[in-house]
Structure 1
Amino acid sequence: MQRFDLQDLALISPSAHKADVGLEARLQDRYFDRWCPGFDTLQVRTLAHDLGLSGEQTLAREVVLTMLAAPVPMTFKSVAQLESHIRVRVNIARAAAKTSLAFNTEAAERPSEYWQGDAEKGFVIRQGVSLENAIIAATQPEVTGRQYEFSCYRAAEYLVLLGLAQEAKLVNPTYLNELEAQCRLAVPRSDPFHTTYVYEYGTPENPIPMRYYVPGDRLWFKNPDDRSSDVKGFEGSWVFYLGGGLFSNFWRRDQPFDLASKCLEIYHWRDGACVNSSGKLSMDESIVEQQVALTRQSPDQLNLVMSKMMAYRDPAGVYANGGCIDSTREIPRALF
């Protein structure tokens, strides 16, 4: 807390869960009510302007401040593990803000100097190439001069691995060597990725408040419309919370989403869903943009759409009365 000059804001006491061995830190009530009312952390950078949340440590301080306001315990075995977690979150949020990709759910590309394709395992990193450099080259066009084709699901996995690799280089070289060796055989994805590299906090029974986010959170916004969710790639949207009220936009990184713009985009996918010349259900994103603009021009319509979308999502496969908000957040597992 002292390192981030936040010691006067935190209430630190013996843990209610393990008082004999642990400490618990949380934001004092008066600061919580002022900066994170109702667990809303989307405006904390603006509301806590008197904290001076600017400069090199802005993102790290926002991570700590929002974690202090957590609605559920975030448990760490040591201060070192907590510090590592903060750095990984910062790594991920910064990388997500720099990521610029070409959307494609049917095909994928990677820079051949760093990656090689495998018919069964997808892309793997080449011998002698670091995982950090390989992912940066694939996701940040400044390196190669071009964008590569990804789905948001796969891109989100890559950025978690990047954040972990960058931290492991500092604190756990053995972990990094093992991770890179794994990625030369097969890059973890889908279920193996979920069970090994991230974990969820919050549950459908005890959901995370809808406006509570910590920089570096990975989350899914569900498309609650049955028909348009059948368009591949539009079942929902995987994003990262960048801090400052903004969420990643891998396709137009200079236009990150706020919560309202993300809800509007997903809501109007129902208008963009159409049958193309091949008779296949597809998405006309120009129509989506037009409808978003029209909704923004009507306060009543905007409020109506937001009231529908700002609700917890239905379970997988269910399209009843749910909105787009997930009940959980995903965060990277500890390196040690």
Structure 2
Amino acid sequence: MVSGFLSLLETVGDMSLLLIQQYFPFMKKCTLFLPPTERTKQEVSVNSIKGIQVTNSTIEECMEFFLTFDISTSDEGGSLELESVNGVVKCQMSETWRHTYTPQFNTLSLHWYSKNLQQEILWAMLISPEVFEFKNIEALKSTVRLRENIVRNACKTALTFETEKAKRPHEFWRYEEEKGFILQPHVSLIDALIKTTQPGPTEEHFDFSCYRATEYVILLSIAQEAVVYNPDLFHRLQNRWRTRDIRSAQFHKTFLNEYGSQNKPLPKQFFIPGDRIWFKNPHEPSSNVEGYEGSWVFYIGGGLFSNFWKQDKAYTEPFTLDMKCIYIYHWRDGLQYSSDGKHWVEEEVVKSQISQTLHCSSKRECILNKMMRIQDPKDIFREGGCLDRTREVPKQIHPSCCELNV
């Protein structure tokens, strides 16, 4: 069923995910999307709601905006709370609502109650333990659209996992050692990114590492928002990629904001659709294999995390949180060594071990108890699991408050 869902996403273009749910009612019923486990319910939260703050607006304007997404101050089981303090409208769901629908800030089951992706995004933001600040309502609208773009593009992305080489469609890109992959003359940035990351059923899948793949999805999503709502930024982005790319640490610094912190980690099961997340491999020997240090993914809502690798991997569907943890755990079982000292992870062994784990509830629970811990700091391998302390999201790009400097 999930394969069918992804196939439909590849063919419908910009059709809303709400319409997709009409074709696939299992999205709200399938066992892939179970409510929080007893393990989650037993955790004690020390966080409080910070939600959304909007300046240059009024309570009435904010209320009108949220009503567009059927979020109101009179919902059953709790409500939206709006308060104006010193010219800032503070917006959040009530504690009663949060305890009912997102216990311990667990947002993985919000899709059970939400009517569409936009509502799921806003609900998660409205119960966030980290504040999201906007200079006006238009900036908030832009952020929601941008997160939608990321989810849509992440669902459509299909690539080949490769860390030692890279390949792009030559009609759109050319490679220069110092400049990276840059656009061919007169080529559209959006067209090039779509062609590279979203191949048709019979088209070639291009080579990417997971980190570089997330960069392309983020860049495409920003470009799609900018071309409509901030054309000047779009042209600057496109012109930049005609001369030199932006990647790795520079990409993170230029395009992304990080929320949560090393000292105050986010709740372990708090995710907003469109977040980029790092799952660490806590097993040091297998983490030394290039490409298996961990995994960069997006939270795509519905209790699922992106999976770009539609072939040649042990698991090829979007991940639930449990499956992501189990998959990374079994990398250690796939670790292989050759006589000349080379090492790699054999995906067929990983696949076999996953199957055994899924048929043994006690083994599954033991693995999840180990992996569902906040990860140790970089280069430390002790008692930590694979869960990230922070989340990453694109900077705001609405013209009234654009944070990008390109």
Give the Cα separation in 1 of the matches to 2:378 and 2:202.
Answer: 38
Letter in 1 for 2:81: L
Give the Cα separation in 1 of the matches to 2:178 and 2:94.
Answer: 52
1:157-199 per-position Cα deviation (integer Å, ceiling 9, x unaligned): 1111111100001111111111111111222111111111001
Give the Cα separation in 1 of the matches to 2:258 and 2:198.
Answer: 27
1:29-70 per-position Cα deviation (integer Å, ceiling 9, x unaligned): 232122111100001111x1xx5x1xxxx1111111111111
From 266, 282, 289, give the equivalent of 1:231: 289
Letter in 1 for 2:322: A
TM-score by length of 1: 0.94
Q: Say whether 1:25 aligns with 2:87.
A: no
Q: 1:301/1:138 Cα in 2 relative to 1: closer, same or farther (>3 Å)?
A: same
What is the CA distance between 1:128 and its match in structure 2? 1.4
What is the CA distance between 1:257 and its match in structure 2? 0.2
Q: Please, which runs of 5 or more residues in structure 1 have no aligned partner?
A: none
Letter in 1 for 2:255: Y
Q: 1:143/1:284 Cα in 2 relative to 1: closer, same or farther (>3 Å)?
A: closer
TM-score by length of 2: 0.78
Give the Cα separation in 2 of the matches to 1:277 and 1:126.
Answer: 44
From 389, 401, 405, give the equivalent of 1:327: 389
Aligned to 1:11: 81
Q: Say whether 1:287 aligns with 2:345.
A: no
Give the Cα separation in 2 of the matches to 1:320 and 1:304.
Answer: 17
From 45, 54, 64, give the equivalent of 2:111: 45
What is the CA distance between 1:92 and its match in structure 2? 0.5
Q: Secondary structure at the match of 1:75?
A: strand
CA contact (8 A) 1:137 1:144 kept: no
Q: Secondary structure at the match of 2:134?
A: coil
Q: 1:21/1:127 Cα in 2 relative to 1: closer, same or farther (>3 Å)?
A: farther
Q: 1:143/1:121 Cα in 2 relative to 1: closer, same or farther (>3 Å)?
A: farther
Q: Say whether 1:85 aligns with 2:143.
A: yes
From 369, 374, 384, give the equivalent of 1:312: 374
Q: Secondary structure at the match of 1:227?
A: helix
From 241, 249, 255, give the equivalent of 2:317: 255
Aligned to 2:362: 300
Give the Cα separation in 2 of the matches to 1:60 and 1:277.
Answer: 53
Give the Cα separation in 2 of the matches to 1:61 and 1:259.
Answer: 21
What is the CA distance between 1:278 and its match in structure 2? 5.2
1:53-96 per-position Cα deviation (integer Å, ceiling 9, x unaligned): 1xxxx111111111111111111111111110000000001100
Give the Cα separation in 2 of the matches to 1:143 and 1:88.
Answer: 26
Q: Secondary structure at the match of 2:181?
A: strand
User: How many aligned residue pairs are there?
Assistant: 324
- Matches for 1:57-76 after TM superposition, within 5 Å: 58-76=116-134
Q: Please, which runs of 5 or more residues in structure 2 have no aligned partner?
A: 1-65, 74-78
Q: Secondary structure at the match of 2:271?
A: coil
Q: 1:149/1:216 Cα in 2 relative to 1: closer, same or farther (>3 Å)?
A: same
**Runs of 4+ displaced beyond 6 Å:** none
Identical counterparts, % of pairs: 41
Give the Cα separation in 2 of the matches to 1:141 and 1:294.
Answer: 33
Q: Say whether 1:241 aligns with 2:311.
A: no
Once superposed, what is the RMSD of the aligned Cα atoms? 1.4
